[in-house]
C-alpha cells in the first residue's frame, strides 16, 4: 500500500511542479534561466514583540522563481544590531539548522553564545526559512508525538521501516493541503530568498554563520551567489555530497559513540541516576518499551510512549549535553512506569521553541533537497543492519536521516555538484564527538569546497557554538576569521 500511495503522490506532484532538474550552478549563473523578478522593497523594521533590542520585518519572495507570477509569500526576518554601531563588521546572517527551525525564535536564545567580538562588530540577521515558523508554515497535520514514537527498526527482514505509514500519510496530506507550495520548500529556493533579504537590507555582501542544516544552506548560497559572500562559517557541517542512506551510515556510529560517552561520564559519578551500570539500565528500558509501551501522557497526547521516544530523546541528549540531567531523570521515570517526562524530552527534538511541530517542514526540505529516496523496505533493511552493528542507537539513524522521504515524491531541484568553487575562503567546523553531523561530514564538505579550511573542535555535542562556545581556542579562530578572513593553519584542532 505504501508503494501505491507513493506512485499516486508522484503523479499528483507532477501536476503542480516543474520537471525535476538538478541544481548545477557556477559563477554568475544564479539567475540564468530564471525570469526577472522585481527587486524587493526595503524592509520596514519594527521592534520585535518580547525580544528587547531585536527588530522585525518581512520580505516578499516568489513561491516559484521559475514562475514568479504564480504567487508569493512573506519571509519573516529579524535582526540584532551590533553592540557597537560604528563597528566595521557588517551584516552576519545566521541559520540555526533543523531543517525547519525558526531563526527568529532561536537567535534570541543563542545570540549570547557568539564571541563578544562578533556581537560587538556584527549586526546579526536571521529569518524563518520558507515553510517554517512565521514564513508560511507548512502544516500538514503530522503529529509530533506520533513521529517521536515511531519504532525505528522492523521486527524482521524484508519489512518496511515502521514509520512508513505515518510518513506516507504526511506526504499525501502535504500535497493535498499545500500542493502549490510544498514542492518549492527547498534549500535552493531558500538561498534565493536569502539573497532577496540581502537586497532588502541594502548590503552588497554578507557574512554567514550556519549550524547543522544551516551549513547546507550556506554552501548552496555560496554556490549560487559567490560574489555576495564576504565570510562564511559552516559549523557542524553536513556531508552534502552524500545521499540520505550514506548519511544514515555515517551518523549511526557517531550517535552510538556519543551515547557510550554519556554513560561512561554518568558511571564515573558517585550518584549516577542510572546506577552503577547505565548501559544495562538503558538496554533493559529499551527492551521493556519494545515489548510494552507505556501509557500515553494524556492531556491531548493520546500516543503511547515507545522505544521510538527513547531513541528520539537520547539523540537530543547526546546532541545538547546541557540537557543530560533532564534526560537521565526521564529514563528513571520511564523505568518506574511514567513515560510522560520521556515524551516531553522527545518532543523537544521535533518541535520548535514555541512548541509547534517541525516535522512537516523538516521532511519537505530534506526530501526536496536529496534525490535518493530509498523505499520503505530498503530503509527497513538498512535500519536492521545498522541496529545489528550499533545496537544502542544505530537503527534510529535511518528514521532520523531519511525516514520521512520513503514516500515523498521526486524533487524538482535536488542538490548535486555543490562545491562553491568561486566563493571566497570558507571556514568549516567539525566536532570529534558530534552525534548528528559527524566529523566525517565536515571533512568531506571541506574537501568539496576548493577554498575551504577545516578546523576541528575536540569535544562532544552537536556543533561548536551550541556545545562548546566558551572554548577560547575556537573563539579565537572564529573571531579572527569573521573579522579579517584569517584562516587557521591547516590541521588546527582546538581541544
Cross-strand pairs, 234: 210, 428
For the stretch 274-289, pLDDT in tens is 999 999 999 999 999 9
Q: Are 157 and 385 in contact (CB under 8 A)?
A: no
In the β-sheet with 46-47, what is the strand arrangement from edge to edge? Answer: 46-47, 55-62, 72-80, 122-127, 90-95, 206-211, 229-235, 426-433, 452-460, 493-494
The domain of 150 spans: 1-11+80-495
How far apart CA 142 and CA 138 sit, in angstroms, is: 10
In a domain, 22, yes or no: no
Residue written as grid cell 508569493: 72
In a domain, 136, yes or no: yes
- Grid coordinates representing 245 are 542512506
DSSP 3-state of 495: coil
DSSP state string for 455-493: EEEEEESSSHHHHHTT-HHHHHHHHHHHHH-PPPPTT-E
How far apart CA 58 and CA 196 sit, in angstroms, is: 11
In a domain, 62, yes or no: no
* Mean pLDDT score of the chain: 93
For the stretch 321-332, pLDDT in tens is 999 999 999 999
| Model confidence at 483: pLDDT above 70 | yes
Q: What per-residue confidence (pLDDT) applies to 3?
A: 27
Report field, pTM of the whole predicted structure over 0.85: yes
In a domain, 162, yes or no: yes
pLDDT band at 16 (very low <50, low <70, confident <90, very high): very low
| Model confidence at 18: pLDDT above 50 | no
CATH of the domain at 169: 3.40.50.1820
**φ, ψ for residue 358, nearest 5 deg:** -90, -5
Over range 175-198, report the average pLDDT. Answer: 97
Q: What per-residue confidence (pLDDT) applies to 33?
A: 76
pLDDT band at 259 (very low <50, low <70, confident <90, very high): very high
pLDDT band at 32 (very low <50, low <70, confident <90, very high): low
In a domain, 183, yes or no: yes
Counting the structural domains of the chain, the total is 1
Q: What per-residue confidence (pLDDT) applies to 13?
A: 27
For the stretch 205-251, pLDDT in tens is 999 999 999 999 999 999 999 999 999 999 999 999 999 999 999 99
Tally Cβ neighbours within 10 Å of residue 283.
13
Query: Cα torsion at 190, 196, 197, 201 (round to 10°)?
Result: 170
> Of the candidates 320, 344, 336, 339, which has an alpha carbon nearest to the alpha carbon of residue 273?
336
Say if residue 353 is exposed, middle or buried (CB neighbours under 10 Å; 0-12, 13-18, 19+): middle
In a domain, 36, yes or no: no
| CA dihedral sign of residues 375, 381, 384, 385 | negative
In a domain, 393, yes or no: yes
In a domain, 199, yes or no: yes
Residue written as grid cell 541594502: 202
For the stretch 160-173, pLDDT in tens is 999 999 999 999 99
H helices then E strands: how many in the chain? 18, 10
Q: What per-residue confidence (pLDDT) applies to 30?
A: 66
| Model confidence at 267: pLDDT above 90 | yes
Amino acid at each position: 500500500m505504501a508503494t501505491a500511495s507513493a506512485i499516486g503522490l508522484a503523479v499528483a506532484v507532477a501536476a503542480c511542479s516543474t520537471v525535476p532538474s538538478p541544481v548545477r550552478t557556477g559563477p554568475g549563473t544564479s539567475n540564468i534561466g530564471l525570469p526577472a523578478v522585481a527587486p524587493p522593497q526595503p524592509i520596514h523594521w519594527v521592534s520585535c514583540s518580547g525580544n528587547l533590542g531585536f527588530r522585525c520585518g518581512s520580505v516578499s519572495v516568489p513561491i516559484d522563481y521559475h514562475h514568479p507570477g504564480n504567487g508569493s509569500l512573506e519571509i519573516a526576518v529579524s535582526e540584532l544590531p551590533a553592540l557597537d554601531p560604528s563597528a566595521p563588521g557588517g551584516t552576519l546572517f545566521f541559520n540555526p539548522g533543523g531543517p525547519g527551525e525558526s531563526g527568529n525564535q532561536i537567535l534570541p536564545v543563542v545570540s549570547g553564545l557568539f564571541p563578544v567580538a562578533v556581537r560587538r562588530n556584527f549586526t546579526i540577521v536571521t529569518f524563518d526559512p520558507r515553510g517554517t515558523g512565521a514564513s508560511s508554515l507548512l502544516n500538514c497535520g503530522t503529529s509530533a508525538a506520533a513521529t517521536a514514537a515511531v519504532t525505528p527498526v522492523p521486527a524482521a527482514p524484508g519489512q518496511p521501516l515502521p514509520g512508513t505509514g505515518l510518513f506516507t500519510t504526511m506526504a499525501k496530506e502535504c500535497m493535498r493541503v499545500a500542493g502549490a507550495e510544498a514542492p518549492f520548500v527547498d534549500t535552493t529556493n531558500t538561498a534565493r530568498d536569502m539573497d532577496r533579504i540581502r537586497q532588502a537590507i541594502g548590503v552588497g555582501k554578507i557574512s554567514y554563520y550556519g549550524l547543522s542544516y544551516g551549513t547546507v544552506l550556506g554552501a548552496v548560497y555560496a554556490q549560487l551567489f559567490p560574489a555576495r559572500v564576504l565570510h562564511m562559517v559552516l559549523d557542524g557541517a553536513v556531508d552534502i555530497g552524500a545521499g540520505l542512506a550514506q548519511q544514515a551510515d555515517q551518523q549511526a556510529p557517531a550517535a552510538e559513540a556519543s551515547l557510550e560517552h554519556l554513560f561512561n561520564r554518568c558511571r564515573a559519578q558517585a550518584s549516577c541516576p542510572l546506577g552503577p551500570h547505565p548501559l544495562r539500565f538503558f538496554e533493559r528500558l529499551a527492551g521493556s518499551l519494545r515489548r510494552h509501551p507505556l501509557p500515553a501522557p494524556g492531556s491531548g497526547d493520546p500516543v503511547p510512549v515507545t522505544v521510538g521516544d527513547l531513541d528520539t530523546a537520547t539523540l537530543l541528549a547526546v546532541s545538547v549535553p546541557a540537557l543530560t540531567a533532564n534526560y537521565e531523570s526521564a529514563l528513571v521515570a520511564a523505568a518506574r512506569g511514567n513515560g510522560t517526562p520521556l515524551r516531553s524530552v522527545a518532543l523537544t527534538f521535533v518541535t520548535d521553541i514555541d512548541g509547534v511541530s517541525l516535522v512537516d517542514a523538516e521532511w519537505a526540505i530534506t526530501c526536496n533537497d536529496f534525490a535518493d529516496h530509498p523505499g520503505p523496505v530498503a530503509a527497513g533493511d538498512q535500519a536492521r543492519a545498522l541496529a545489528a552493528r550499533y545496537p544502542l542507537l544505530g537503527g534510529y539513524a535511518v528514521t532520523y536521516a531519511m525516514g520521512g522521504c520513503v514516500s515523498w515524491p521526486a524533487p524538482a531541484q535536488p542538490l548535486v555538484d555543490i562545491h562553491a568553487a568561486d566563493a571566497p575562503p570558507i571556514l568549516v567546523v567539525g566536532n570529534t564527538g558530534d552525534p548528528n553531523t559527524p566529523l566525517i561530514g565536515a571533512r568531506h564538505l571541506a574537501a568539496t569546497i576548493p577554498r575551504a579550511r577545516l578546523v576541528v573542535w575536540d569535544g562532544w555535542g552537536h556543533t561548536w557554538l551550541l556545545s562548546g562556545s566558551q572554548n577560547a581556542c575556537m573563539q579565537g579562530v572564529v573571531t579572527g576569521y569573521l573579522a579579517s578572513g584569517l584562516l587557521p593553519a591547516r590541521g588546527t584542532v582546538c581541544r
